[in-house]
Amino acid sequence: MESGAARNPLNVALVGYGFVGKTFHAPLLLNVPGLRLSHIVSSDAAKVHKDHPGIAVLPKPQDAFANSEIDIIVLATPNDTHFPLAQQALRAGKHVVIDKPFTNTVAESAVLIKEARGAQRLLSAFQSRRWDGDYLTLRKLLAEKTLGDVAVFESHYDRYRPEPRQRWREQPGPGSGIWYDLGAHLIDQVLQLFGFPEAIYADLGIQRPGGQAVDYFHVLLRYGPRRIILHGGLLVVAGTPRFTVHGTLGSYTKFGMDTQEDGFKRGDTPGGPNWGNDPDAGTLIFKCGDGFQTRQIPNQPGNYLGYYAALRDAIAQGAPNPVPAEDAMEVINVIETAIKSSDQRTELPFVPIKL
């Protein structure tokens, strides 16, 4: 994507040093060869320097956009800032990574894609859960047709957080609520596995006392006879399967979440010993002769570093974009279609975007 030889390493500015920037993006960017986290944009320089005394701190995003030494802008900011900040960064000639959800609307996504094409700059979404260990394992099972033709696929992202928190994700407004926050992960994985659905039926709601943003979703994606169910709630104490898949040759269930998020929260180094190892093996029940056999399926290692390594190669070597903006736009398309379905209490056709 560079017009000339790419800088080595590529200099990266992380915009936003809240929970997501501090906990996820900074550790990843510091541990991928060929990338250099040279700047962090934050209004709290002391907070940044306490963690990273050698990294320059800029007070405003525009300071990073105007800096000719910076190659890549990573936006880890509130959802309603993604579009305007990404647009400014692209117009300044930067490659841009946007944390999910990519934008709040399809219209915003389309504008950014056209801007990136015009500027000949890479635009990507940080859909990190493409590198979850259990997802990688399931993707391999499906590719090998171990379950035959999939009839039902359920993907859950459940938590127990009964009291709403005072943070922007849980306040009313564009891009708030868990359908944008957690649903974006589940949607992206399903679109990668099965492509576009024919139709969507969604039930979105607020269940917690005092809640102001969506904290429950149950969304059905219809693919001919196949049914895909995406579910998330914040009042779930009991463990629910992360994945449940039923096919013509067997079934697969997987409990527990990918372990990388917990590793980040503990302060573990990405790529260090046991990084991404998920001990909660999946259970496969498959047809064997006249009966069925049960087998435990160990998880492949999860590796969020893979996203940024692929991003580096896309910019420096012209390799494929690890999460193209067009993919991210279709995630927003599903989100918007589901919101309309829930509001209208009816199934709606899904129409892919053509730019």
Both 87 and 183 in a single domain?
no
In a domain, 1, yes or no: no
The span from the CA of 214 to the CA of 336, in Å, is: 13
| Mean of pLDDT values over 301-330 | 98
Q: What domain range includes position 221?
A: 130-302+335-349
CA–CA dist 1, 112 (Å, integer) = 16
How far apart are the C-alpha atoms of 260 and 253, rounded to whole Å?
Answer: 20
Give yes or no for residue 2 having a pLDDT over 70. no
Q: Alpha-carbon distance 71 to 354, whole Å? A: 29
Considering the chain, what is the average pLDDT of its residues? 96
Detail the DSSP E strand segments found in the chain: 10-15, 35-41, 56-58, 72-75, 95-99, 123-126, 150-158, 199-205, 216-223, 226-233, 241-247, 250-255, 282-288, 291-297, 348-349
In a domain, 330, yes or no: no
State the distance between the two ends of the chain, measured CA to CA, in whole angstroms. Answer: 20
Residue found by looking up tokens 């015009």 in the block = 118
Question: Residue 1 above 60 pLDDT?
Answer: no
CA–CA separation, 73 and 340 (whole Å): 32
Percentage above 90 pLDDT, the chain? 93
Q: Grade residue 5 by pLDDT with cuts at 50, 70 and 90.
A: low
Assess whether pLDDT exceeds 50 at residue 249. Answer: yes
- CATH code for the domain of 102: 3.40.50.720
State whether 310 and 296 are in the same domain: no
| Residue that has been written with the tokens 């829930």 in this structure | 342
Q: Is the pLDDT of residue 290 over 90?
A: no
Q: Is 104 exposed, middle or buried (0-12, 13-18, 19+ CB in 10 A)?
A: buried
C-alpha 127/C-alpha 188 separation (Å) is 7
The average pLDDT across 209-230 equals 97
pLDDT of residue 289: 86
Q: Provide the domain count of the chain.
A: 2
What pLDDT does residue 173 have? 87
- Partners of 158 in beta bridges: 233
| Same domain, yes or no: 110 and 242 | no
Distance CA 152, CA 227 (A): 5
Here the CATH number for the domain that contains residue 195 is: 3.30.360.10
Do 244 and 197 belong together in one domain?
yes
Q: 231 and 293: one domain?
A: yes
Residue 199 falls inside a structural domain: yes
Say if 329 falls within a structural domain: no
- Extract the tokens encoding 88: 């400014």
| Whether residues 151 and 104 fall in one domain | no
Same domain? 118 vs 254? no
CA quadruple 314, 319, 324, 327: dihedral, nearest 10: -160
If asked whether residues 274 and 314 sit together in one domain, one would say: no
pLDDT of residue 288: 86
pLDDT band at 3 (very low <50, low <70, confident <90, very high): very low
Give pLDDT tens digits for 147-169.
999 999 999 999 999 999 988 88
